Protein backbone atom coordinates (compact mmCIF):
# COMPACT_ATOMS: atom_id res chain seq x y z
CA UNK A 1 0.00 0.00 0.00
CA UNK A 2 2.97 2.32 0.58
CA UNK A 3 1.10 4.23 3.28
CA UNK A 4 2.70 6.44 5.87
CA UNK A 5 1.60 5.83 9.43
CA UNK A 6 2.02 7.65 12.68
CA UNK A 7 4.63 5.86 14.76
CA UNK A 8 6.69 6.97 17.74
CA UNK A 9 8.71 4.47 19.82
CA UNK A 10 6.74 3.43 22.91
CA UNK A 11 9.42 4.55 25.37
CA UNK A 12 9.45 8.04 23.82
CA UNK A 13 5.64 8.21 23.61
CA UNK A 14 5.23 7.25 27.26
CA UNK A 15 7.52 10.10 28.35
CA UNK A 16 5.42 12.68 26.50
CA UNK A 17 2.56 14.62 28.10
CA UNK A 18 -0.92 14.26 26.60
CA UNK A 19 -0.48 17.71 25.01
CA UNK A 20 2.86 16.68 23.48
CA UNK A 21 1.32 13.44 22.18
CA UNK A 22 -1.54 15.33 20.53
CA UNK A 23 0.91 17.92 19.14
CA UNK A 24 2.98 15.20 17.48
CA UNK A 25 -0.14 13.46 16.16
CA UNK A 26 -1.60 16.74 14.84
CA UNK A 27 1.69 17.57 13.10
CA UNK A 28 1.54 14.19 11.33
CA UNK A 29 -2.09 14.81 10.30
CA UNK A 30 -1.27 18.33 9.06
CA UNK A 31 1.53 16.94 6.90
CA UNK A 32 -0.88 14.40 5.38
CA UNK A 33 -3.35 17.18 4.62
CA UNK A 34 -0.67 19.39 3.07
CA UNK A 35 0.58 16.55 0.83
CA UNK A 36 -2.96 15.70 -0.23
CA UNK A 37 -2.58 12.12 0.96
CA UNK A 38 -5.46 9.67 0.94
CA UNK A 39 -6.54 9.05 4.51
CA UNK A 40 -7.18 5.36 5.08
CA UNK A 41 -8.58 4.64 8.53
CA UNK A 42 -7.05 1.97 10.75
CA UNK A 43 -10.56 0.71 11.51
CA UNK A 44 -13.65 1.25 9.36
CA UNK A 45 -16.13 3.67 10.95
CA UNK A 46 -19.88 3.29 10.51
CA UNK A 47 -20.80 6.19 12.81
CA UNK A 48 -18.36 8.72 14.26
CA UNK A 49 -20.58 9.00 17.34
CA UNK A 50 -19.61 5.40 18.21
CA UNK A 51 -15.87 6.24 18.25
CA UNK A 52 -14.04 7.52 21.33
CA UNK A 53 -10.57 8.36 22.61
CA UNK A 54 -7.62 9.45 20.50
CA UNK A 55 -9.13 7.99 17.31
CA UNK A 56 -12.22 10.17 17.79
CA UNK A 57 -10.02 13.22 18.38
CA UNK A 58 -8.24 12.52 15.07
CA UNK A 59 -11.54 12.08 13.23
CA UNK A 60 -12.97 15.29 14.72
CA UNK A 61 -9.83 17.21 13.76
CA UNK A 62 -9.80 15.92 10.18
CA UNK A 63 -13.53 16.46 9.74
CA UNK A 64 -12.99 20.01 10.99
CA UNK A 65 -10.48 20.36 8.14
CA UNK A 66 -13.16 19.51 5.57
CA UNK A 67 -12.93 15.73 5.38
CA UNK A 68 -15.91 13.38 5.55
CA UNK A 69 -16.30 9.65 5.87
CA UNK A 70 -16.40 7.66 2.66
CA UNK A 71 -19.58 5.64 2.05
CA UNK A 72 -17.83 2.44 3.20
CA UNK A 73 -16.31 4.15 6.28
CA UNK A 74 -12.80 3.03 5.36
CA UNK A 75 -11.44 6.47 4.38
CA UNK A 76 -11.76 10.16 4.94
CA UNK A 77 -12.25 12.13 1.75
CA UNK A 78 -12.46 15.82 0.81
Adjacent-strand bridge partners of 39: 76
Total-model pTM: 0.85
Find out whether 41 and 73 touch, Cβ atoms under 8 Å: yes
Q: Confidence class of residue 1 from pLDDT cuts 50, 70 and 90?
A: low
Average pLDDT over all residues of the chain: 91
Mean pLDDT of all residues in 8-22: 93
Mean pLDDT of all residues in 52-58: 94
Find out whether 16 and 24 touch, Cβ atoms under 8 Å: yes
Helix (H) or strand (E) holding 69: strand 68-69
Amino acid sequence: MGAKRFSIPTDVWNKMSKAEQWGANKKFLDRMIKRGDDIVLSNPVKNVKDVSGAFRKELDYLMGQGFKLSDDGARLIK
